[in-house]
């Protein structure tokens, strides 16, 4: 953990130095790491163990080998060589590593005669800072010190630390011409430092809107000069500005090198302007006249008029003026688009070619008077289900000619949400009419119609209300229904009396039918039209799986959607068919009980037999009742052979006989109680 903390400290130091451009000479970025020798070896006696590189612990050689592995990410290769300190330079040469008298951070300083090695941590001119162990000899402890670079016999370069080119120093100037600002940076440094510059940037912002910071990239003018030209009109602000300067090196390091704070962009001088508003009908003629120098007038890019009705201030629309001449701009605003009468306001804004905008006039509270509509009345006449709506107007020819449309919102009082607007047709200069089919509302009863006129300027006015007229439902034909049973078929016949119109208005006839034994199983049956007065349905009652009482109600649905119950046939009876009579005999053949049933009845009754069954049990074990299925011998005879040994009982037995018909009815028809199964002697 100690090693990780140390490395993090070095990394933070390196980032801090590169970001703020502290380095001024071509040196390696490094610093003393400290005693990172592993605790497991540090607490042993001197030479008390052999480390991972086959060197004795707490000696200088073991410390440097560990430092090379942990920091340089390099492990020495023992290779069967003598790695005493006086042999390190020779061994390195043999293995192909450079050995010279030039210190580099991360290189190994070696003394042959003193039998010593150390790790180079920092270099300042002719001074070299080293980290070492076991100096003085026998101490077996950590130490750091500064030495002259010529003191060691050699420097071994197994894997030196990387070299970072220092950031050159720079300064920035700012010059202005109108809204164009020229930002120029000049750098001083070695050719290698200047060549390592990747880009120069200028984050710039207005003090009036610090959030709108924009980074501008400079162009390279020559090896030491960078420049950017920025049109400050993009900020849409006058007043104080600040620009900071950043240089990014080829290795990705970024440093700030200059701050230009508080220079001023002065606002342009706009020409003076006034605005007048004149109404021509519902058109507001808005005219602006400017006074100023020819340069100020020529700098006008556009003139705009935000305009709104005081009745709906949220509906503010900006209208752009047309240039009439060098001093005059005008817009014609159709106030009908606002769909409001009463007070209006228009403000005036000028925008110059640099994008700056200024308010120069306010015209508040001019009035658009509503037009005079012609007077109108509306009548409603019913023709069947059609409401004939007729509006008659009186007024001047100009008022009548200004009518654009007449509309009739109409609704049923039974469903007020279903309001439909109907457009009138112009009959002549004074008369408009619409024919409204009220059947589309699917409602009878009270209706209301209101009348609206809209003029050619888009203004609308209510001029009449016709409330509470009645659409009566048409008469319904009377009907009766008869039920005739044909076996299990119920023949339902409905006969109607009425006018030809009433009869023609019948849409369908239906018969909800149910068994009194199972009332939830109600089924609606559709009738077939036999002729103009007669409808009929044939219902197979066997689908209900019930005998006994049935009921059928009759419903009539008209073309207009009305549904009417017109007849009830309650309590007619579907009798079950007769069941054949039967007897059963039991004959014992050893342990076999031969059960034979003989039936008498009509051929239909005999053919309706589905199955015959014999529940049989021993009186010694009545719960062990077993149902045995008979085999059909012929139309009248059924038989089953039962092996009584499966009951594991001797003594008395009983067998009952059950008949199941095709319609599902089950009937007990014979009882054979107390026959004996003798135990063999």
Locus of tokens 């069954």: 613
d(CA 435, CA 382): 10
Q: What pLDDT digit, counting tens, does each position of 452-510 carry?
A: 999 987 888 999 999 989 998 888 999 999 999 998 899 999 999 999 989 999 999 99
User: At 423, phi and psi to the nearest 5?
Assistant: -90, 130
Does the pLDDT at position 10 exceed 60? no
For residue 368, what are the β-bridge partners?
342
CATH of domain 2-157: 3.90.1720.10
CA distance 354 to 342: 38
Joined together, the tokens standing for residue 286 give 């808005």
Average pLDDT, the chain: 91
According to CATH, what is the number of the domain 478-574?
2.60.40.1930
The contacts of residue 222 (CB under 8 Å, 6+ apart) are none
Across-strand partners of 401? none
Say if residues 223 and 234 touch (Cβ distance below 8 Å): no
- Rounded alpha-carbon distances, angstroms, from residue 371 to 41, 218, 430, 456: 104, 64, 18, 11
pLDDT interval class at 577 (50, 70, 90): confident
Report which of 374, 384, 327 is spatially closest to residue 350, judged by C-alpha positions.
Answer: 327
411-463: pLDDT as tens digits:
999 999 999 999 999 999 999 999 999 989 988 999 999 999 999 878 889 99
Distance CA 19, CA 10 (A): 14
Q: What is the CATH number of domain 581-677?
A: 2.60.40.1930
* pLDDT value of residue 5: 31
CATH architecture of the domain covering 169-265? Sandwich (2.60)
Ramachandran angles phi, psi of 153, nearest 5°: -75, -30
Q: What is the dihedral sign for C-alpha 45, 50, 53, 56?
A: positive
Residues making up the chain, counted from first to last: 681
DSSP label at 113?
T
- Percentage of the chain with pLDDT > 70? 95
Token pair, residue 147, equals 């030495």
Average pLDDT of the segment spanning 112-132: 95
CA pair distance 620, 65, nearest whole angstrom: 101
Q: Are 501 and 414 in contact (CB under 8 A)?
A: no
Sequence ranges of the domains in the chain = 2-157, 169-265, 272-368, 375-471, 478-574, 581-677
Residue 126 has pLDDT above 80, yes or no: yes
pLDDT beyond 50 at 1: no
Question: What element of type H or E holds 646?
Answer: none
Report d(CA 543, CA 558) in Å as an integer: 29
Structure tokens at 128: 């070299």
Query: Is 90 exceeded by the pLDDT of residue 252?
Result: no
List the end-to-end C-alpha distance of the chain, in Å, as a whole number.
Answer: 101
Residue 103, CB half-sphere, CA atoms under 13 Å: how many? 26
State what percent of residues in the chain have pLDDT above 90: 78
| 413 touches 438 (CB < 8 A) | no
Cis peptide before 136 (omega within 30 of 0): yes
Half-sphere exposure of 92 toward its Cβ, with a 13 Å CA cutoff? 24
The first and second tokens of residue 272, run together, are 């003076």
CA dihedral 97, 101, 104, 110 (to 10 degrees): 70
Rounded to whole angstroms, the Cα distance separating 481 from 551 reads 12
Assigned fold of 375-471: Immunoglobulin-like (2.60.40)
- pLDDT tens-digit readout, 610-624: 999 999 999 999 999
Torsion of CA 329, 334, 339, 341, to 10 degrees: 70
pLDDT of residue 339: 85
Q: Which stretch of 15-19, 316-320, 404-408 has the lowest confidence by average pLDDT? A: 15-19
Q: What is the mean pLDDT of residues 88-98?
A: 96
The average pLDDT across 66-93 equals 94
Q: Which of 286, 441, 451 is nearest to 379 (CA)?
A: 451
Contact 598, 612 (CB under 8 A): no
* pLDDT score of 6: 31
Classify 138 in phi/psi space as left (phi over 0), alpha (psi -120 to 50) or beta.
Answer: left
Enter the tokens of residue 655. Answer: 């067998």
Backbone angles phi, psi at 316, to 5 degrees: -90, 125
pLDDT computed for residue 25 by the predictor: 33
pLDDT at 31: 66
Instruction: Give 225-246 pLDDT, tens digit per residue.
Output: 999 999 888 898 888 999 999 9
| pLDDT number for residue 15 | 27
Residue 452's Cβ-side half-sphere holds a number of Cα atoms within 13 Å equal to: 13
Instruction: Tell which CATH architecture fits domain 272-368.
Output: Sandwich (2.60)
CA distance 612 to 579: 13
Residue 336 CB coordination number (10 Å) = 17
**Does the pLDDT value for residue 136 go beyond 90?**
yes
Token code pair at residue 560:
């207009």
Place of tokens 């007449």: 406
* Measured distance CA(364)–CA(310) in Å, rounded: 10
Residues 240, 260: Cα–Cα separation, whole Å: 11
Bridge partner list, 332:
285
pLDDT beyond 50 at 663: yes
Tell me which DSSP letter residue 473 carries: P
Q: How many CA atoms lie within 13 A of 196 on its CB side?
A: 20
Domain 272-368 matches domain 375-471 at the CATH topology level: yes
Strands (E), 153-238: 154-157, 169-177, 180-188, 197-206, 209-217, 219-222, 225-231
Q: Write the pLDDT tens digit of every residue in 509-555.
A: 999 999 999 999 999 999 999 999 999 999 999 899 899 999 999 99
**pLDDT at position 630:** 98
Arithmetic mean of pLDDT, 2-13:
30
CA angle 672/678/681 to nearest 5° reads 170
pLDDT confidence tier of residue 53, bands split at 50, 70 and 90: very high
pLDDT at 9 over 60: no
Q: What's the token pair of residue 494?
A: 């409905």
| Closest listed residue to residue 613, CA positions, set 629, 592, 594, 637 | 629
Cα–Cα distance for residue pair 67/105, rounded to 1 Å: 12
Residue 681 has pLDDT above 80, yes or no: no
Residue 26 has pLDDT above 70, yes or no: no
Tell me which of 177-181, 201-205, 417-421 is least confident. 177-181
CA–CA distance, 30 with 161 (Å, rounded to integer):
8
Rounded Cα gap, residues 133 and 34, in angstroms = 11
């Amino acid at each position: 953990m100690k090693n990780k903390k140390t490395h993090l400290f070095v990394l933070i130091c390196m980032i801090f130095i590169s970001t703020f451009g502290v380095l001024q000479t071509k040196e390696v970025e490094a610093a003393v790491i400290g005693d990172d020798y592993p605790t497991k070896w540090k607490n042993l006696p001197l030479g008390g163990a052999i480390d991972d590189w086959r060197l004795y612990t707490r000696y200088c050689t073991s410390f440097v080998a560990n430092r090379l592995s942990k920091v340089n990410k390099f492990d020495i290769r023992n290779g069967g060589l003598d790695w005493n300190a006086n042999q390190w330079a020779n061994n390195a040469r043999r293995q192909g590593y450079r050995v010279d008298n030039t210190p580099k951070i991360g290189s190994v300083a070696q003394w042959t005669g003193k039998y010593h090695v150390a790790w180079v941590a920092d270099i300042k001119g002719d001074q070299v800072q080293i980290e070492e162990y076991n100096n003085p000899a026998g101490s077996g402890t950590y130490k750091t010190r500064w030495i002259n670079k010529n003191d060691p016999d050699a420097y071994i370069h197994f894997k030196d630390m990387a070299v970072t080119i220092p950031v050159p120093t720079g300064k920035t100037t700012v010059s202005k011409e109108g809204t164009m600002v020229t930002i120029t940076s000049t750098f001083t440094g070695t050719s290698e430092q200047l060549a390592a510059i990747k880009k120069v940037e200028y984050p710039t912002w207005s003090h009036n809107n610090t959030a709108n910071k924009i980074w501008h990239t400079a162009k390279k003018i020559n090896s030491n000069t960078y420049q950017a030209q920025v049109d400050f009109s993009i900020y849409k602000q006058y007043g104080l500005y600040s620009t900071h300067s950043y240089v990014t090196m080829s290795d990705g390091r970024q440093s700030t090198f200059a701050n230009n704070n508080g220079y001023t962009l002065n606002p342009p001088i706009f020409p003076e302007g006034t605005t007048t508003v004149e109404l021509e009908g519902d058109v507001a003629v808005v005219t602006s006249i400017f006074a100023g120098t020819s340069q100020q007038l020529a700098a006008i890019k556009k003139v705009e008029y935000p305009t709104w009705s005081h009745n709906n201030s949220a509906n503010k629309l900006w209208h752009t003026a047309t240039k009439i001449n060098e001093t005059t701009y005008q817009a014609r605003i159709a106030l009908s688009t606002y769909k409001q009468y009463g007070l209006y306001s228009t403000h005036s804004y000028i925008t110059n070619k640099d994008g700056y905008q200024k308010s120069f006039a306010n015209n508040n509270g001019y009035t658009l008077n509503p037009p005079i509509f012609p007077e109108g009345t509306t009548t409603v006449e019913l023709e069947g289900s059609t409401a004939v709506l007729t509006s008659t107007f009186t007024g001047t020819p100009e008022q009548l000619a200004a009518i654009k449309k007449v509309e009739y919102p109409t609704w049923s009082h039974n469903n007020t949400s279903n309001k439909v607007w109907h457009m009138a047709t112009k009959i002549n200069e004074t008369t408009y009419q619409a024919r409204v089919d009220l059947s589309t509302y699917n409602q009878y009863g009270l209706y209301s119609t209101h009348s609206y006129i809209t003029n050619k300027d888009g203004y609308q006015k209510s001029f009449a209300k016709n409330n509470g007229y009645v659409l009566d439902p048409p008469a319904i034909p009377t009907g009766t229904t008869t039920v005739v049973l044909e076996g299990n078929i119920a023949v339902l016949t409905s006969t109607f009396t009425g006018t030809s119109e009433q009869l023609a208005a019948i849409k369908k006839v239906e018969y909800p039918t149910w068994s009194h034994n199972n009332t939830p199983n109600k089924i609606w049956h559709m009738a077939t039209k036999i002729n103009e007065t007669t409808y009929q349905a044939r219902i197979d009652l066997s689908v209900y799986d019930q005998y006994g009482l049935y009921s059928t109600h009759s419903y009539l649905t008209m073309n207009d959607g009305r549904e009417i119950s017109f007849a009830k046939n309650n309590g007619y009876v579907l009798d079950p068919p007769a069941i054949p009579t039967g007897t059963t005999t039991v004959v014992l053949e050893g342990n076999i009980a031969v059960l034979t049933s003989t039936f008498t009845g009509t051929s239909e009754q005999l053919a309706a037999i589905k199955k015959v069954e014999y529940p049989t049990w021993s009186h010694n074990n009545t719960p062990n009742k077993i149902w045995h299925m008979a085999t059909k011998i012929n139309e009248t005879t059924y038989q089953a052979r039962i092996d009584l040994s499966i009951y594991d009982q001797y003594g008395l037995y009983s067998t009952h006989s059950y008949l199941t018909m095709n319609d599902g009815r089950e009937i007990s028809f014979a009882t054979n109680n107390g026959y004996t199964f003798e135990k063999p002697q």
